[in-house]
Chain A
């Protein structure tokens, strides 16, 4: 079997068209708007990349949520990374787009060009090799991401402990989805009345983490895969719930997600990481119990503790013109922002929603253009 066989059926044009017809037919019976928040930036990307929004009725609106690990990183945390990378004999490792996110004095790519040893990883496990190959340096993994990428960090800590790789340190920025959903819904202006639940997050954590939100806010949550058929089927299931006036937790992505999730991964995370009292999210502000940190027992690997005196403590707000905050809270759509595509573009991003390939602004700009006119 070839790899393409695994996803080809999830991009079947006939299936997508049939789902579109079913959604349109059922939604026409519903007078009010169905405001669906896709929490995860991956789903925003799917909707825009495959033009799924063009196949849906007008009363289905998408609200793009805070589920992009790059977008929600406040500037002071990027400044931490830049500060660490400029220390003598430090190699800073991180993932993907994080290297392009602006801190208060520029992004990590800029500091790399000025001589800091900053390396984006293709495979996080490379951190072990880099640390072994550079015993005279401190190798710091700037760990980012939601529940999805946390197990990989836990594995790295585990291996560093077991192999006694003492020069591998961690700056932990792992965040959690449920507190973000609470923060969105706590806003009295929130229009969200349904959720597409994150896929990869749920593989690890299990769909159970959304049950409190379903009950508390009476909103359907459908955990969805990332392929076009997945998302269209999830939208149909949301519309079916709205049509029946019910709110339930539903797992469309059942080929990978269970109610309980990956218990082995959860246990490994619990072994090394614990809940942080509070974490300041970009656009959402401080949210209690919304992020993780290293347990005290592993303080010898915690770059935040070891380099505490070097790291800046001031909180840094976004550019005044930037509306990333409202976009992450679901109060604005990317084209609503006055600087979208003008002062803020992927070449010169003001805000991280435009930087990240998973960011809502980047997806709109890349696939639908400045004026958000469907081609």
Chain B
């Protein structure tokens, strides 16, 4: 029976029979169509040579739909971005769905369509996948796992490669995804035009690589936000990082939400914002390229690498004091008082 005769996912859609075939053929294969996937072999037959980046990520987000994206867009952008941050061309992705019985078919279609749309920004292909349907109550709507491989075309980008006097650039205003997810939660009835930054970063990374910009480290600031990335870099490269607070771009909406709940934008997640460490001499050219591209018009130098206070990130305030910018811990919970 055609998948579109159903309003909700049934357990039988994961049973390996006709219903599962109709789900895969009429929805997944249709959206993700390419010759490797369509061959329906037990494993994808792909050609890899040279240095290859390989990554995997599982996506569980509440709510599934938020301003600026959904779990599907996130699953593609997230994995593609992990490859891009290693200087790799995103090529092949796998995709596994774990779907809760009763999940709305139209929501699944929306998610799958947005995944197909998002892949066009990198040119990657989903070449294998898996579908499981679990009984009601055993999953929270839908979980998606994506893995990806890509050819590394820019070598030596590494968390351990920060060097003294490198400058730190952030590609755009921070904290949008975390703030958008908070806003989308049922209990927060706030009106705002805030949208997630969820986006594929390969097009801009491709331009930086094409311009032969020297990049020492590059990372998308996902969970843990800017604070987590900078602390990981400072620790892995055994250097200090100084950040100028007033240089960090933050939107009014994100700052407002932070004020309301006692959060800091540095700690909020991003899904289309990345940080680069590169030689000071390369900074102007990198910024010139970045600011020409969609979403990166606020790209800015926010700090620099030092030989002092190794392993720590220092935030310098606009009034002359300074403090540690520590890695966030525990659940992000609003202040009490």
Contact = CB atoms under 8 A, between A and B. Distances in A.
A261 interface: no
A17 B182 CA distance: 35
Interface string A117-147: 0001111001000000000000000001110
Interface string B316-337: 0111111110100111011111
Contact of B331 (A16, A17, A99, A369): A99
A357 B328 CA distance: 11
Interface in A10-62: 11, 13, 16-17, 20, 40-42, 48-52, 54-55
A346 interface: yes
Q: Which applies to chain B's interface (DSSP): helix, strand, loop or mixed? A: loop
Interface stretch (A1-9, A181-189, A296-304): A1-9
Task: Say which size band chain B's interface belongs to.
Answer: 20 to 34
Interface in B83-135: none
B314 interface: yes
Q: Which of B309, B317, B322, B337 has the most A CB atoms < 10 Å from its CB?
A: B337
Given A54-B321, A375-B322, A69 B255 contact: no
Contacts of A366: 324, 326
B252 A3 contact: yes
A287 B43 CA distance: 70
Interface of A: 2-4, 7, 11, 13, 16-17, 20, 40-42, 48-52, 54-55, 68-70, 95-100, 109, 120-123, 126, 144-146, 148-149, 200-201, 228, 346-347, 356-358, 365-369, 374-375
30 contacts: A2-B252, A2-B256, A3-B255, A3-B256, A7-B259, A11-B318, A16-B319, A20-B319, A41-B337, A48-B323, A50-B317, A50-B319, A50-B323, A51-B317, A51-B323, A69-B336, A69-B337, A70-B336, A96-B334, A96-B335, A97-B333, A99-B331, A120-B333, A121-B187, A145-B336, A358-B335, A365-B326, A366-B324, A366-B326, A369-B324
A13 B334 CA distance: 27
B212 to A, nearest CB: 36
B319 A100 contact: no
Contact of A4 (B255, B321, B323, B324): B255
A51 B319 CA distance: 9
Contacts of B185: 122
Contact of B324 (A96, A200, A358, A375): A375
B312 interface: yes
A148 B337 CA distance: 7
Interface of B: 182, 185, 187-188, 252-253, 255-256, 259, 261-262, 309, 312, 314, 317-324, 326, 329-331, 333-337
A100 B188 CA distance: 23
B336 A96 contact: yes
A110 to B, nearest CB: 13
A122 B323 contact: no
Contacts of B320: 13, 17, 54-55
Nearest to B309: A375
B321 A50 contact: yes
Q: Which of A51, A98, A146 has the most B CB atoms < 10 Å from its CB?
A: A51
B323 A96 contact: no
Contacts of A95: 334, 336
A13 B336 contact: no
Contacts of B312: 369, 375
